[in-house]
A and B are shown apart, each in its own frame.
Chain A
Amino acid sequence: MGVNQLSRLYGDKPAVDRVSFDVERSEVFGFLGPNGAGKTTTIKMLTTLLQPSSGGANVLGFDLKTEGRKIRERIGVVQQQDSFDQGLNVETSLDIYGLIWNVPRTERKTRIEEVIARFGMEEFRKMPTVDLSAGQRRRVQVAREFIHDMDLLFLDEPTVGLDPIVRRALLDYLKERVHNGLTIFFTTHILEEAEYLCDRIAVINQGRIVQIDTPENLKRRFGSARAVEFKLLQGSSEALASALSSSADVTRLVQDSGTGAYRVTTTRPESVIPEIYRLAEQHAVTVSSIYIAETTLEDAFIHMVTDDENGRETEREA
């Protein structure tokens, strides 16, 4: 897939602003961004649901503007929003979805059994889709897409509402399908998922692509030595946290509710660590452990988006 200067305006406001990127065959391409960044609008354009305001794309060798039908014959889409057939049970719903895609009856039967087993839907296969929980319905929605053949699959936050076991099963299944030649365009807010699955990631903010690279490179370039984790013997100290948060070198401070560990995002860990010890002494608490944490994709993501927003702010002021 080759995307060239693709834009979509709502009124005079760009929801997607001249984005360009390429996706290789059998690649998992992640598309990350904050809420309202333009991820879903991009997917809607690339799946021909929405006309671009300008720019273009070549999807599976077909032109986005003139060969929409040919593109749609070779793609699968799991939308961010719920989608289900109100009057059908799970099994019939899968069967009829396969039917409208013209999958032969015997093939449908085989694939339905496969996805029911892979997505753990046996216990509710006869239940009406309308009566399912949000997570179960999401499973059906994702599984349904594997009933028909495709070369490229668009997944718009597919794991929302799934429990960790099903989520991992889905990610592993996707990996398996990619190994067999499927290409995936994937958006998510769960950055561990993106890191687990994606070969490359594009970060989009306010309609514009900020960076495109592999997860490892993004972490190296935007997150190296920028997180410090520490624990207090006393568990927590609001006074210390408050004082540390107001330090100029600290971008963000969060406390893990489970382990009690504090995580400091900083551009200067070498000055933050002595500061933590100084504040601990001042507030009569003891640092029981401290280390420069391995940078996560989330650290890199926050850094990229914050940098981009600061850059825009500076542009506006200028």
Chain B
Amino acid sequence: MNIYLRLVYRNLRANLDRASLFFELIFPLFFIFVQGFGLNGIVPPFEIGNGRVISYSLFLAAGAVTLTVINGGTNAGTQLWFDRKNGMFEQILMGPFTRAQYILSIIFATLIIGVAGSLLVFLFAFPVLGASFNPSLPGVLTIAAALFLGTVFFGAFAIALSVALKSSETFQIVSTFAFFIFLFTSSVFFPATSAPSAIQVASLANPLTYTTDIFRAGLFDAMTPTVSLELGILALEAVVMFAIAVIAFHRIRV
């Protein structure tokens, strides 16, 4: 079996807390079925681009799917943290693996969690999203790219954070706080263009904004020329964050 498959399989089996995964899936569903329908009556439908007008519940459902990307990303930091805490980090590096293979295996495991989680939430949210889903090959590819790049960014971010912080408690607190900032300065809950100017500026640097916007564009066939630009910015942010994570990872003292 390929070396990456072996390590990814181990990461998925050994370091994932099933209860946390369950709640990571439940969390977005609350937004879709409670908040989305709750606010639907007072928020009129609006245009998201390319002439596509959708209801608030649809808007939020798409955002909630990308929320699993950020949750999946947190798992990358948790995997590394568990391995460091339990002595498996050194043990694996004294085995027939390189540091690069180890860190990539964490990213791959995170991609599986992030993308599979998104698909699962999408399936659960299908009663809401299904009717408006207009599948096309460019749309599906765009969605895949958004989920892939978003997961790489947030996985790498969580790895860098996990290396920088000294205790698992601090990691949990800081990552939760950081992810709330990402969440509320993005276009998950509301269109960034209608937010106050400070949030608009923050949203322009926020990769979750691009992940969500690209995902919505692919899902609702609302492709505009800005989607390509957003894809480019998200790819750049993912590459930069991945490089930061690799540098941080190589500085871990053993």
Contact = CB atoms under 8 A, between A and B. Distances in A.
Contact of B95 (A72, A84, A87, A96): A72
B20 to A, nearest CB: 11
Contacts, number: 72
Contacts of B9: 96, 99
A154 to B, nearest CB: 8
Contacts of A81: 87, 90
Given A48-B94, A101-B95, A83 B88 contact: yes
Interface string B92-131: 1111111000000000000000000000000000000000
B97 to A, nearest CB: 8
A85 B94 contact: no
B143 interface: no
A85 B9 CA distance: 13
B10 A99 contact: yes
A47 interface: yes
A188 to B, nearest CB: 19
A102 interface: yes
B86 A85 contact: yes
B254 A69 contact: no
A79 B14 contact: no
Interface residues of A, number: 26
B90 A49 contact: yes
Given A86-B82, A100-B10, A49 B93 contact: yes
A79 B90 contact: yes
B166 interface: no
A48 B94 CA distance: 7
Main secondary structure of the interface of A (DSSP, over half): loop
A73 interface: yes
B87 A82 contact: yes
B7 interface: yes
A79 B254 contact: no
B108 to A, nearest CB: 14
B96 A69 contact: yes
B86 A84 contact: yes
A92 interface: yes
B254 A92 contact: no
A48 B88 CA distance: 15
A92 B7 contact: no
Contact of B96 (A49, A73, A96, A99): A73
A77 B87 CA distance: 12
A84 B87 contact: yes
B13 A88 contact: yes
Interface in A80-133: 81-88, 92-93, 96, 99-102
Contacts of B98: 69
A87 B83 CA distance: 11
Interface of B: 1, 3, 6-7, 9-10, 13-17, 82, 86-88, 90-98, 254
The 8 A-B residue pairs whose C-beta atoms are closest, nearest first, are: A83-B87, A85-B14, A73-B96, A83-B91, A77-B94, A47-B94, A100-B6, A81-B87
Given A83-B91, A85-B15, A96-B9, 19 more contacts: A49-B254, A50-B254, A72-B94, A72-B95, A72-B96, A79-B94, A81-B90, A83-B86, A84-B86, A85-B10, A86-B86, A87-B13, A87-B17, A92-B13, A93-B14, A96-B13, A99-B1, A99-B10, A100-B92
Interface of A: 44, 47-50, 69, 72-73, 75, 77, 79, 81-88, 92-93, 96, 99-102
